[in-house]
Amino acid sequence: MHTQRSRTRAPRQQQRVISKRQLSQTQIRRYFSSQRAARKRVALALILGVLVFGLGFYVGSIVLITGFAIAIISGWFLIATSPPSDEQFDQWLSRQAETMYSQALQAFDFSERDFANRVYCVHSFVLPGSEEARAHASQTVRAKKGKDGKLRCSMNVYTYFFFTRTSLALFVGTINAWNNSVQQHTYRYRYQHIADMAPPSDGFQDTVNLNGKQLRCRLKQCNLELINNKTIHLTATLQAVYYDRQRKVTYFLLPETGFESTLREVRSLLFSDM
């Protein structure tokens, strides 16, 4: 598998607009934006409108109509500005990942019969305040802890590993939910040109900004090392670990994606014959 040769394809970059499915750009921004204060004021206005409406039965029609109008307008505003649920965002992101897989096949002009092994995919995240986030507009890098306790990010990276008969093809796509766009990178290397591929065992220290708090975390990413000492950045953050010194508790900030077993299988396929 590693002794045959094929042409090395240079990295390629593209910028596309993701088709809008299920959620609009406004709805997604609303999901990651904090609007609690504004919605609380509108809710109070709704309660006031209902009270004024009830009072109108005793005072007169003008008060009745005023209360009714306040209640209707406030109620409509609450419904219209309601953020999507965690499940709705997850479904939207899943659809975008499916679209990205199709784009990956098109980028290499692949069909399923071209693969020597199954296709592997790793999901990683760009965290606000991190070193990697500096490569993007700061307002587009958001994170939100859902009602289920899971952290969701506006920037999600999907890395696809395609094993062909003679080479490894890589598609790295970043979905930017904040502006409904995707940035993609494609690579293709002959197996004998690959020296190593593994996330750092201990990771590295970086600062993450969550809910206005600066957290010093240990992050894990994955790189591809070539025999010419070139390093290819394959993922964003796979794991973020924060140690609370006061409570003496370790927190794993990102959801479990199964990246460890996936990368272990990928590495086994790359170097099993070496």
182-223 residue pLDDT tens: 899 999 999 999 999 877 677 899 999 998 899 999 999 999
pLDDT at 74: 53
Out of 6-10, 13-17, 88-92, 147-151, least confident range = 6-10
Q: Is the pLDDT of residue 130 over 60?
A: yes
pLDDT above 60 for 34: yes
The pLDDT tens digits for 51-82 are 555 555 556 677 556 655 665 665 545 455 56
Tabulate helix, strand, coil % of the chain (nearest 5).
Answer: 35, 30, 30
Distance CA 226, CA 264 (A): 18
Map out the domains of the chain as residue ranges.
9-21+85-271, 34-80
With a pLDDT cut of 90, the percent of the chain lying above it is 52
Give pLDDT, residue 7. Answer: 36
The residue length of the chain stands at 274
Dist. CA 97–CA 155, nearest whole Å: 12
Does an H or E element contain 204, and which?
Answer: strand 204-210
Report how far residue 58's alpha carbon sits from residue 274's, in angstroms, rounded to the nearest whole number.
88
pLDDT at 40 over 80: no
Residue 199 class from Cβ within 10 Å (0-12 exposed, 13-18 middle, 19+ buried)? buried
Q: Reduce the DSSP state of residue 205 to 3 states and report it.
A: strand
Task: Tell me the whole-structure pTM to 2 decimals.
Answer: 0.77
Q: Would you state the pLDDT for residue 29?
A: 85
Q: What is the pLDDT of residue 65?
A: 67
Instruction: Give the ranges where 81-219 is alpha helix by DSSP (H).
Output: 86-108
pLDDT of residue 30: 83
Residue among 109, 113, 116 nearest 186 (CA): 109
Mean pLDDT of the chain: 80
The pLDDT assigned to 24 comes to: 83
DSSP string, 132-161: GGGGS-GGG--EEE-TTS-EEESEEEEEEE
Decide if pLDDT at 117 tops 70.
yes
Distance, C-alpha 141 to centroid of its chain: 9
Q: If you search the block for the tokens 């479990």, which residue do you land on?
A: 256
What's the pLDDT band for 167 if we cut at 50, 70, 90? very high
* Beta partners for residue 173, in sequence order: 158, 184
pLDDT at 11: 45
Average pLDDT over residues 88-110: 91
